[in-house]
């Protein structure tokens, strides 16, 4: 297998959530440094830095054109900017083409909606951030309330920090459990959140529902048909 065939491409676009990208990137960069023939790249439409939903800007290492056939694809998510990106024909076209021959196609948070827009979730089980999970059927997917969901070669992660879990699972699929365990030790990933574990029987959905509708309306203001289709599921 050539080095190019083992390229793991992280996709960036304006307004993404940094942890969606950086968490899995840190894990899989460890895999790239393991001597097993993998490499990690960050791809964008151009090499210009892109804004995120924080003050941080991220500069791609390669353009889409430079990495047309990655071995694995990782798509981060976000809020309104990610919804806006659903209508970005260049981005969605790259995802569609790059996914066609990829061994693994993965996403974090609402990155799964971008995979759906690229036609990669039709007939599959998938997940995303819990606040947007019920939108997945609009893209042909069956929503599943899990930290990550693997259906064939497609692996989708739930919100933000779940991308680290997904990436460790992907390392296990690519290089085995021992390598994944070693990398987990390397990043000292052993969560003990200050507020304790989340109670998934009672997420604060009512408090956040207006935020979701605002994100939909802001992100899709120029795509009224898609906006109405998704609002109908909101």
Going from N- to C-terminal start, the domains of the chain cover 4-190
Q: Residue 4 pLDDT > 60, yes or no? A: no
Q: What is the band of 5 on the pLDDT scale with cuts at 50, 70, 90? A: low
Tokens of 184: 């987990």
Q: What is the band of 233 on the pLDDT scale with cuts at 50, 70, 90? A: confident
- Tens of pLDDT, residue by residue over 114-163, are 999 999 999 999 999 999 999 999 999 999 999 999 999 999 999 999 99
Class of domain 4-190 (CATH, top level): alpha beta
**Helix-helix angle 18-32:162-175, to 10 degrees:** 20
Instruction: Identify the pLDDT of residue 2.
Output: 44
Q: What is the mean pLDDT of the chain?
A: 95
Instruction: Identify the pLDDT of residue 200.
Output: 83
Q: What is the band of 208 on the pLDDT scale with cuts at 50, 70, 90? A: confident
pTM over 0.85: yes
Instruction: Identify the pLDDT of residue 1.
Output: 36
E-strand ranges in the chain read: 7-11, 39-44, 50-51, 57-58, 62-63, 72-75, 104-108, 125-126, 142-143, 148-151, 154-157
Q: Residue 227 pLDDT > 60, yes or no? A: yes
Q: Residue 30 pLDDT > 80, yes or no? A: yes
* CA nearest neighbour of 230 among 110, 132, 143, 146: 132
Q: Residue 167 pLDDT > 50, yes or no? A: yes
- Tens of pLDDT, residue by residue over 149-159, are 999 999 999 99
Which residue among 109, 114, 149, 155 is the active-site one? 109
Tokens of 158: 């739930």
The answer to whether 123 is a known catalytic residue is no
- Tens of pLDDT, residue by residue over 60-104, are 999 999 999 999 999 999 999 999 999 999 999 999 999 999 999
Tell me the C-alpha distance between 50 and 60, whole Å: 8
């Amino acid at each position: 297998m050539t080095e190019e065939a083992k390229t793991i491409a992280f996709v960036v676009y304006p307004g993404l959530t940094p942890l969606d990208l950086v968490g899995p990137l840190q894990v899989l960069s460890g895999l790239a440094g393991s001597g097993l023939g993998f490499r990690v790249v960050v791809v964008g439409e151009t090499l210009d830095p892109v804004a995120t939903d924080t003050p941080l800007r991220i500069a791609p290492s390669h353009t889409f054109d430079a990495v047309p056939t990655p071995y694995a694809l990782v798509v981060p998510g976000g809020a309104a900017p990610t919804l806006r990106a659903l209508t970005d024909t260049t981005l969605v076209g790259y995802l569609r083409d790059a996914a066609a021959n990829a061994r693994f196609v993965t996403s974090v948070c609402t990155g799964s909606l971008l995979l759906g827009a690229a036609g990669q979730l039709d007939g599959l089980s998938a997940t995303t951030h819990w606040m947007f999970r019920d939108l997945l059927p609009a893209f042909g997917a069956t929503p599943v309330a899990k930290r990550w969901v693997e259906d064939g070669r497609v692996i989708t992660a739930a919100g933000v920090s779940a991308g680290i879990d997904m990436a460790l699972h992907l390392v296990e699929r690519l290089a085995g459990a021992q390598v994944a365990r070693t990398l987990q030790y390397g990043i000292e990933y052993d969560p003990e959140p200050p507020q304790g574990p989340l109670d998934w029987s009672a997420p604060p959905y009512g408090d956040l529902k207006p935020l979701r509708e605002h994100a939909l309306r802001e992100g899709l203001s120029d795509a009224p048909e898609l906006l109405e289709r998704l609002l109908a599921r909101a």
